[in-house]
Amino acid sequence: MHVTHLSLADFRSYARAEVPLDPGVTAFVGPNGQGKTNLVEAVGYLATLGSHRVASDAPLVRMGAERAVIRAQVRQGERQQLVELELNPGRANRARINRSSQVRPRDVLGIVRTVLFAPEDLALIKGDPGERRRFLDELITARSPRMAGVRSDYERVLKQRNTLLKSAALARRHGGRTGAPPGRANSSLGADLSTLDVWDQHLARAGAELLAQRLDLIATLQPLADKAYEQLAPGGGPVALEYKPSAPGEAHTREDLYAQLTAALVDARKQEIERGVTLVGPHRDDLVLKLGQLPAKGYASHGESWSYALALRLASYDLLRAEGNEPVLVLDDVFAELDARRRERLAELVAPGEQVLVTAAVDDDVPHVLAGTRFTVAGGAVERV
Ligand SMILES: Nc1ncnc2c1ncn2[C@@H]1O[C@H](COP(=O)(O)OP(=O)(O)O)[C@@H](O)[C@H]1O
Ligand SMILES: [Mg+2]
């Protein structure tokens, strides 16, 4: 698929922007702070319902404005679709497809698909497990948009379960104290615990589905990541992706993972009630990224970490392409970080893509193989060269 037109209203630094786009390579060139990343961030938002730079929507709305609108005309084969998202920080976002009546924002997932690589991706290697979980879960959703529903079910159940555990922890702590009405605290603890069993089942069901998808994704991605790393840094690998679950076991199917998660919840129950928080499940898992024998985190050099993050994105791109619907590849401020050799390699790898959006501070940072459409971005204006 590719985007044929991007419109922004009150998004980031743009009061308005209208950007007609072609298939093939498009480069946005301009000095720092002029709004290049803001443009590709908007495209990425349509694909993931989130920004690759910030966790909340508030910074995405232009200072002083109330809401932002991102609109894209999208072409997939012969099919044209218009997607629209209205960002209302603090209130529900709204979405429309083909100007018809409103749909849920998550219903637009799958229309725009992107693989976005940006300097922030170094956090995939060096950052907290949450960064890697988000990487996995966004890719799962790009492969299969219905997983957005499973993810939000899981988040909802987790939140409810944590609330319950917190109140059980409180009841337990106050239960032994003199002054509390006799029996009251303990009976509410009893009620909480029987409800907890029900939440365990919900958590294990959504959790198992998420885990099954993550494990399948990792198995598919592994050889592609290894290949991509070899192309970027020959002889530097191999790379291995190892899932590290909080619920121990070797299960792979959804049913077995359900059983494994349920058993781990039983084992963790006492500790969970003491601490008032859910200690096992996909929200506590990590993906260990190995380079050679060692985990990249804590061991890999800056250059190796950079190549690794890029290899993960290129592998994601390969995977989505191989599975049918080609995503838009976004390379934000990437070339300036690479030496000449890796720059050329990357350029050759991505040049045949259906649509590749590149940002760079100066023309010279964009490799010659990626000669395509150019826009200059300066002073709030996006102009075709
Ligand atoms: N919500 C916002 N309202 C107004 N300006 C913003 C907002 N968010 C970011 N900006 C401005 O956008 C600029 C950064 O744009 P960006 O696209 O990151 O630049 P670059 O061209 O270097 O990629 C900064 O000058 C910043 O102040
Ligand atoms: Mg930028």
To the question of whether residue 126 is assigned a binding role by annotation, the answer is no
To the question of whether residue 37 is assigned a binding role by annotation, the answer is yes
Judge whether 189 and 196 are in contact, CB under 8 Å.
Answer: no
Name the band, by pLDDT with cuts 50, 70 and 90, for residue 178. very low
To the question of whether residue 33 is assigned a binding role by annotation, the answer is yes
Predicted confidence (pLDDT) at residue 8 exceeds the cutoff of 80 = yes
Mean pLDDT in residue range 340-358: 92
What residues have CB less than 8 Å from 24, skipping those under 6 apart? 354, 355, 356, 372, 373
Ligand 1, atom 9, lies closest to the CA of 12
Q: Which of ligand 1's atoms lies nearest the C-alpha of 60? A: 1
Buried b (16+ CB within 10 A) or exposed e, 218-244: bebbbebbbbbbebbbeebbebbbebe
Cα(366) to centroid(ligand 2), Å: 14
pLDDT at residue 247, as a whole number: 94
What residues have CB less than 8 Å from 377, skipping those under 6 apart? 28, 29, 30, 34, 35, 36, 39, 359
What residues have CB less than 8 Å from 213, skipping those under 6 apart? 140, 143, 144, 147, 150
Average pLDDT over the chain reads: 93
Q: What distance in Å separates the CA atoms of residue 165 and residue 176, rounded to the nearest whole number?
A: 18
Mean pLDDT in residue range 23-34: 96
The amino acid occupying position 113 is R
Ligand 1, atom 4, lies closest to the CA of 13
Strands 328-332 and 114-117 turn out to be parallel
In the block, residue with structure tokens 């349920």: 262
Name the band, by pLDDT with cuts 50, 70 and 90, for residue 317. very high
Within 6 A (CB) of ligand 1 lie: 12-13, 30, 32-38, 59, 61-63, 359, 377
Judge whether 7 and 71 are in contact, CB under 8 Å.
Answer: yes
Ligand 1, atom 10, lies closest to the CA of 13
Ligand 1, atom 12, lies closest to the CA of 13
Name the band, by pLDDT with cuts 50, 70 and 90, for residue 179. very low
DSSP 118: -
Ligand nearest to the CA of 12: 1
Q: What distance in Å separates the CA atoms of residue 326 and residue 317, rounded to the nearest whole number?
A: 8
Mean pLDDT in residue range 171-179: 63
Report which secondary-structure segment, H or E, holds 230.
helix 184-232
Evaluated on CA atoms 53, 51, 318, 238, the torsion sign reads positive
Listed range (60-74, 174-188, 232-246) with the worst mean pLDDT = 174-188
From 10, 16, 34, 375, mutation site for ligand 1 pocket: most ligand atoms within 8 A of C-beta: 34
From 38, 63, 87, 375, mutation site for ligand 1 pocket: most ligand atoms within 8 A of C-beta: 38
Cα(89) to centroid(ligand 2), Å: 23
Report which secondary-structure segment, H or E, holds 12.
none
Predicted confidence (pLDDT) at residue 85 exceeds the cutoff of 80 = yes
Domains, the chain, in order of start with CATH, read 1-113+325-385 (3.40.50.300), 120-324 (1.20.1050.90)
Q: What distance in Å separates the CA atoms of residue 242 and residue 219, rounded to the nearest whole number?
A: 9
- For the segment 131-147, what is each residue's pLDDT rounded down to a tens digit? 999 999 999 999 999 99
The amino acid occupying position 142 is A
pLDDT at residue 191, as a whole number: 63
